[in-house]
Amino acid sequence: MPAPQYKRILLKLSGEVLMGGQDYGIDPGFVAEMAKEVKAAKETGLEICLVIGGGNIFRGMAGAAQGMDRAQADYMGMLATVMNALAMQSALEQIGVPTRVQSAIEMDKVCEPVIRRRAERHLEKGRVVIFAAGVGAPYFTTDSGAALRAAEMKCDALLKGTSVDGVYDSDPKTNADAKRFDTVTYDRVLADNLKVMDASAVALCRDNDIPIVVFSIRDEGNLARVLGGAGVQTIVK
Ligand code: UDP
């Protein structure tokens, strides 16, 4: 892998990427694949913070659509992100990558609370830090959690690994002529409501000058290529 252009990144993975080929839940084989990608990136000397969504298990909006109280459903979604974080920690440690999970909802039997200075120390010591439970409040998503932790931890970029290889001017699944941007401004993303991350996350990155790199995590080795500047991606800046 070529030398990375960043020193510290926050990698956001949606919960769906942990499902692999399943319709629901966690596919341990796929989590192991993701862990290998993270390990390869870390071996170049990069400091890595991780945020993992919970959509493979539970989304607050889906619960609310079925009649649940939205805030209550969102707390369930946040708990789902903790399960994903623990699965990823396990996969990383199995391949020798020391990892700490910090949750925005305190859960001292299973992980640490979010303490910025402690997270700094973990990164200095070469550990991967997984931030779980988003921002710790309902009506937010893990995209906002990722933007918040990227700002707090002074990350050079927020990498968003999804199932699409970047940001398009229209939906590439329904429009064969959809055009992928190499770069696009935060303001264009917000004005045109382009599908990148939710608006609060994009605004937080814009206000703190954190580039958002959108790429496909489903293509093997793509994290390495993107970090080396040779991958297919869209940079929002
Ligand atoms: N969630 C929340 N506050 C947060 C982060 C997450 O309420 O700060 C809840 C929300 O219900 C969300 C669910 O947790 O739908 C799972 O997170 P998300 O939808 O961001 O997961 P992803 O789409 O990335 O898998």
Please write the tens of the pLDDT for every residue from 206-221: 999 999 999 999 888 8
Overall number of domains in the chain? 1
What is the distance between the alpha carbons of residues 89 and 6, in angstroms, rounded to a whole number?
A: 23
Task: Report if residue 1 sits inside a domain.
Answer: no
Domain of 38, CATH number, reads 3.40.1160.10
Residues 62-86, mean pLDDT to the nearest whole number: 98
Is 98 strand, coil or helix? coil
Backbone dihedral region of 161: left (phi > 0), alpha (psi from -120 to 50 degrees) or beta? beta
CA of 144 to the centre of ligand 1 (A): 9
Task: Report if residue 186 sits inside a domain.
Answer: yes
Q: What is the ipTM of this complex?
A: 0.98
DSSP bridge pairs for 131: 51, 102
Residues 185-213, mean pLDDT to the nearest whole number: 96
DSSP string, 153-201: TT-SEEEEEESSSS-BSS-TTT-TT--B-SEE-HHHHHHTT-SSS-HHH
DSSP bridge pairs for 159: 11, 213
Q: What is the pLDDT of residue 228?
A: 87
Mean pLDDT, the chain, whole residue set: 95
Task: Report if residue 53 sits inside a domain.
Answer: yes
pLDDT band at 109 (very low <50, low <70, confident <90, very high): very high
Owner of token pair 């993975």: 13
Task: Report if residue 178 sits inside a domain.
Answer: yes
Distances from the Cα of 88 to the Cαs of 98, 162, 237, in angstroms?
Answer: 11, 16, 29
Task: Report if residue 190 sits inside a domain.
Answer: yes
Task: Report if residue 101 sits inside a domain.
Answer: yes
Q: What share of the chain is helix, strand, coil (3-state, %, to 5)?
A: 40, 20, 45
Write the residue with the smallest CA distance to atom 15 of ligand 1: 59
Residues 93-98, mean pLDDT to the nearest whole number: 98
> Does the pLDDT of residue 2 top 80, yes or no?
no
Is 60 strand, coil or helix? helix
> Does the pLDDT of residue 7 top 90, yes or no?
yes
Is 10 strand, coil or helix? strand
What is the distance between the alpha carbons of residues 197 and 94, in angstroms, rounded to a whole number?
A: 31
What share of the chain has pLDDT > 90, as a percent?
A: 89
Task: Report if residue 46 sits inside a domain.
Answer: yes
What is the domain extent for residue 217? 8-236
Q: What is the pLDDT of residue 230?
A: 86
State pLDDT tens for residues 133-187. 999 999 999 999 999 999 999 999 999 999 899 999 998 889 999 999 999 999 9
> Does the pLDDT of residue 66 top 80, yes or no?
yes
One-letter amino acid at 182 equals: D
Ligand 1 site residues (CB inside 6 A) read 14-16, 53-55, 59-61, 74, 77-78, 80-81, 134-135, 137-138, 140-145
- Please say whether the beta carbons of 206 and 170 come within 8 A: no
CA of 75 to the centre of ligand 1 (A): 9
> Does the pLDDT of residue 234 top 80, yes or no?
yes
Task: Report if residue 26 sits inside a domain.
Answer: yes
CA of 82 to the centre of ligand 1 (A): 11
